């Protein structure tokens, strides 16, 4: 189940959020205080997204956000701000929030769209459940070994698929050409590292908007390559 923590002390707003998140296929976990929120997170370490109200009886949402981040968690965090002041947004960003929703909610569709987007971004599309990894515009299906960009199928060779999978398993990490070679071609492969470059070049023609100025697969000079999503 896709668990979402809902920290909101006003019962009416909380149940409104809970009902709508349930409708969208989530399993909301309710908390009315900071203490309850941390108890929920302790009991449910698989929470991927949290909605945090700011004004709370025992603490404030920024502090909760700060503590979640201090624990090393990379879960998606959406602040529920009652005001629209820029200050709240800046404070939220400083404490590690990913997004904001202003109360009263203009539309529940907007909120669930943001929860969906964040859930995808933090890798909440559970690989074990769906066999899919979604990052930015890309959707990798590990069952049928396919890749889509913005919903369009990209035809890959088995080697290209293995390279993309390796990148997606290591988001934001620069991979050396040696690592790529060993992982995709196998430790025993005897050959030139240039085969990595050749495949990356061909892959760029398929995945980049502009292969001349790559933004998906960037070169780390003298080392290797990095996947941008």
- Interface contacts to Ca ion, rule CB under 5 A: 9, 53, 55
Nearer to Ca ion, 55 or 127 (CB): 55
Nearer to Ca ion, 47 or 54 (CB): 54
Q: At closest approach, how far in Å is the CB of 56 from Ca ion?
A: 6
**Token code pair at residue 162:** 């293995």
Contacts of 196 (CB under 8 A, 6+ apart): 177, 180, 181, 184, 224, 225
How many CA atoms does the CB half-sphere of 199 hold within 13 Å?
21
In angstroms, the CA 181 to CA 40 distance is: 43
Nearer to Ca ion, 18 or 181 (CB): 18
Q: At closest approach, how far in Å is the CB of 171 from Ca ion?
A: 34
Q: At closest approach, how far in Å is the CB of 181 from Ca ion?
A: 54
Q: At closest approach, how far in Å is the CB of 60 from Ca ion?
A: 9
Whether omega before 104 lies within 30 degrees of 0, making that bond cis, reads yes
Residue 85: strand, helix, or coil: coil
Nearer to Ca ion, 79 or 164 (CB): 79
Give the long-range contacts of residues 147-156, CB within 8 A, separation 24 or more. Answer: 147/207, 149/207, 154/206, 154/207, 155/206, 156/203, 156/206
* Rg for the chain, CA atoms, rounded: 21
Nearer to Ca ion, 56 or 147 (CB): 56
Nearer to Ca ion, 85 or 215 (CB): 85
Q: At closest approach, how far in Å is the CB of 118 from Ca ion?
A: 21
Q: Which of 169, 171, 189, 172 is nearest to 181 (CA)?
A: 189
Tell me which residue has its CB nearest to Ca ion: 55
Q: At closest approach, how far in Å is the CB of 214 from Ca ion?
A: 45
User: Do 226 and 218 meet the contact criterion of CB atoms below 8 Å apart?
Assistant: yes
Residue 172: strand, helix, or coil: coil
């Amino acid at each position: 189940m896709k668990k979402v923590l809902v920290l909101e002390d006003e019962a009416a707003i909380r149940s409104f959020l809970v009902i709508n998140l349930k409708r969208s296929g989530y399993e909301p976990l309710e908390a009315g205080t900071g203490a309850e929120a941390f108890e929920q997170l302790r009991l449910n370490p698989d929470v991927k997204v949290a909605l945090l109200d700011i004004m709370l009886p025992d603490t404030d949402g920024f502090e909760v956000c700060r503590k979640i981040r201090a624990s090393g968690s990379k879960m998606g965090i959406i602040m529920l701000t009652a005001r629209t002041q820029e200050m709240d947004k800046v404070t939220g960003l400083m404490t590690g929030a990913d997004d904001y929703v202003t109360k009263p909610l203009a539309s529940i569709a907007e909120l669930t769209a943001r929860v969906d987007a964040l859930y995808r971004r933090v890798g909440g599309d559970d690989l074990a459940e769906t066999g899919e990894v979604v990052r930015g515009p890309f959707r990798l299906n590990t069952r049928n070994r396919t890749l889509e960009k913005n919903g369009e199928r990209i035809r890959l060779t088995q080697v290209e698929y293995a390279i993309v999978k390796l990148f997606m398993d290591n988001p934001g990490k620069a991979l050396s050409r040696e690592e790529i070679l060993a992982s995709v071609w196998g430790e025993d492969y005897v050959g030139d590292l240039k085969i990595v470059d050749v495949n990356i070049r061909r892959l760029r023609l398929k995945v980049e908007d502009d292969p001349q100025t790559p933004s998906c697969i960037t070169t780390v000079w003298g080392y290797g390559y990095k996947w941008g999503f």
